[in-house]
Amino acid sequence: MKFSLFMLIVALVAPGMHLHAQDNAEPSPPSRLPLEELRIFAEAFDRIRQAYVEEIDDRKLLESAIKGLLTQLDPHSAFLDESSFSDLQETTTGNYGGLGIEVGTENGLIKVISPMDETPASRAGILPGDLIIQIDGKAVKSMDVGDAVDNMRGEPGSSVMLMIMRKGESAPLEKTLIREVIKIASTRQRLLEAQYGYIRIAQFQAGTGPEVSKAIDELKKNGPIKGLVLDLRNNPGGVLQAAVQVSDLFLENGLIVYTEGRIENSAMQFTATPGDRLEHVPMVILVNEGSASASEIVAGALQDHRRAIILGTTTFGKGSVQTVLPLTNKKAIKLTTALYFTPKGRSIQAEGIVPDIWVERSTITRIKSNPFSVQEKDLPGHLQQPAQDDATQDTDNTANRELASTDFQLNEALILLKGINILAP
C-alpha cells in the first residue's frame, strides 16, 4: 500500500513540478515537491489505516487529508463536498435553513463573524466576536466550519443549544435558538426624517446592486434627499460583483477595488462608471467589527474617494478572495487565491477599515432637566412671540430622542449629516 500510494501521488504531480530527494542535495526551487515528505505521508497514511482502533475507508481517509491541507492554510479555504457546494449556492442566493449566523474559525473554535438581520441568531442576542464552544452539547474544538454549520442547520422549528464565550463575560452563555428557513432580505430603506434617508444592506447577494438603486428611487419619491446613511454593520459580505455595483452607484469614476494573487487570472481591477445616483449628496457609512469582505470593499472604496464618511468601529478584516476550483463534477475546493486592495492600495486583510469617526455601540441615558430652571417665557410680563406652528419641530425632537436611545451610532450619523448640510455653501 505504501508503495502504490506513493506512486499514485507521483503520477498526480502537476505538470511543471518535480520530485526530488533532500538527502545530500542542494536547496531546490519552491515549485518542486519534496520526495522524502511524500514518503512520510504515505507511511503515515498506511499506519493509520492499519493500526487505528476502527477500520477507516481509504476514500474517507484521503478526503480527510485534503481537508487537513486546506484548514491549515487559512480560515476560509475549505474542501467542498456535494452538500457543502449546495450550501454555498444557497448562501449567495439568500434562501436557506438554519440560524442566520456567519461563522469562521479562531484557535480551533468557531467564531461568530456576524448574525444576520431578523434571524434566530440576531433575536437571541448573538454578537460578532462570540466564540461558540458547544453545539447541542458537542464540543467544537478543532471542528471545521463546514461541520459546525451542518450541526447548526436542521429542520425548521427544531431547537439547537449554543454555548458561547463572550469577551468581558466570566462564564459561558447558553443560548437556545429555534431553527427557521432563512430568507435574507438583502436591502431595506426608510426615511430617518424628512430628506434624510437610510439604506440597510444585510448581505451582498447577486441582486443587491439593483435593489440598492431601487431603494434610492423609493427614498426620492418623498422629495429631494439631503443626506444618506448606508448601514453595513454586521454585514458578513457575499458576492464581490454586488459590492462593486453598490460602490459604482455613488462614484463617478476611478478604481473601486483590485486584487492580486499568484495565479494568472487572480489579478483583477474594477472601475466605476459615470453617474452618481445621489448626485454628491453627503453620505455616512456605518460599520463595525461584524462588517466583513464585500462590506469592507464598499467602505474602503468610498473612503478612499472621499465620497462618504465612515463611522463606527474597525471592520472584521477579511481581505482575501476565495475561488472555487472543481476537483470532480460533485467535489471542489474553496481556495484563497488573492487579496483585496482599496483604490489607494490598502490591504484589508487582518487590518480592516478604520473608521474616520470612531463611535462605539452605546446606550445613553437622558439627564432630566432641572424643574426649577427659569427661562424668559417664565418671567412675568414677558413679550409674546408671534404665533407659529411648532408641531413639526416638536415631532422631530421626539424622533431624535427615540433614535438616540435605540441606536446611538445611527443617531450620530444623522447628526453628522445635518451638520454637513448646515455648513454647506
pLDDT tens readout for residues 52-102: 999 999 999 999 999 999 989 998 999 988 877 766 666 655 556 789 888
Closest CA to 136 of 156, 159, 118: 159
Beta-carbon contacts of residue 267 (< 8 Å; ≥ 6 apart): 258, 259, 260, 261, 338
Instruction: Give the chain's domains with CATH numbers.
Output: 17-71 (no CATH), 95-183 (2.30.42.10), 187-358 (3.90.226.10)
Q: Of residues 67, 111, 175, 318, which has the active-site annotation?
A: 318
Q: Of residues 84, 293, 295, 320, which has the active-site annotation?
A: 293
| Structure confidence at residue 404 as a pLDDT band (50, 70, 90) | confident
Q: Of residues 87, 117, 231, 304, which has the active-site annotation?
A: 304
Residue 147 main-chain phi, psi, to 5 deg: -65, -40
**How distant, in Å, are the alpha carbons of 141, 156, 349, 380 from that of 138?**
9, 20, 31, 74
Task: Tell me what pLDDT residue 141 has.
Answer: 82
pLDDT tens readout for residues 343-391: 999 999 999 999 999 999 888 877 887 888 888 888 898 898 887 655 4
pLDDT tens readout for residues 148-171: 888 898 888 999 999 999 988 989
Task: Tell me what pLDDT residue 181 has.
Answer: 87
Across all residues in the chain, what is the average pLDDT? 87
Closest CA to 189 of 164, 218, 225, 210: 218
Bridge partners (DSSP) listed for residue 159: 178
CB atoms within 10 A of CB 163: 18
> How is residue 354 annotated by DSSP?
P
Is the pLDDT reported for residue 129 higher than 70?
yes
Task: Tell me what pLDDT residue 23 has.
Answer: 47
Q: Is 293 a catalytic residue?
A: yes
Task: Tell me what pLDDT residue 21 has.
Answer: 47
Is the pLDDT reported for residue 15 higher than 50?
no
pLDDT tens readout for residues 178-233: 999 887 778 999 999 999 999 999 999 989 999 999 999 999 999 999 999 999 99
Classify burial at 168, counting beta carbons within 10 Å of its beta carbon; exposed 0-12, middle 13-18, buried 19 or more.
exposed
- Structure-block grid coordinates of residue 311: 463611522
Q: What is the mean pLDDT of residues 19-44?
A: 69
**Amino acid (one-letter) located at 258:** Y
Question: Within the chain, what is the greatest distance between any pair of CA atoms?
Answer: 107
Strands 187-193 and 180-183: unpaired
Query: Residue 9 in 3-state DSSP?
Result: helix
Task: Tell me what pLDDT residue 403 has.
Answer: 85
Q: Is 318 a catalytic residue?
A: yes
Q: Do 316 and 291 contact (CB within 8 A), yes or no?
A: yes
Angle, helices 294-304/240-250, rounded to nearest 10 degrees? 30
Q: Is 304 a catalytic residue?
A: yes
Task: Tell me what pLDDT residue 200 has.
Answer: 96
- Higher-pLDDT residue of 83 and 397 is 83
CB atoms within 10 A of CB 210: 15
Q: How far apart are the first and last CA of the chain?
A: 80
Give the global pTM. Answer: 0.79
Query: Residue 285 in 3-state DSSP?
Result: strand
Is the pLDDT reported for residue 22 higher than 60?
no
Task: Tell me what pLDDT residue 153 has.
Answer: 87
The answer to which of 29-33, 103-107, 228-232 has the lowest mean pLDDT is: 29-33
Task: Tell me what pLDDT residue 386 has.
Answer: 80
CA distance 159 to 140: 18
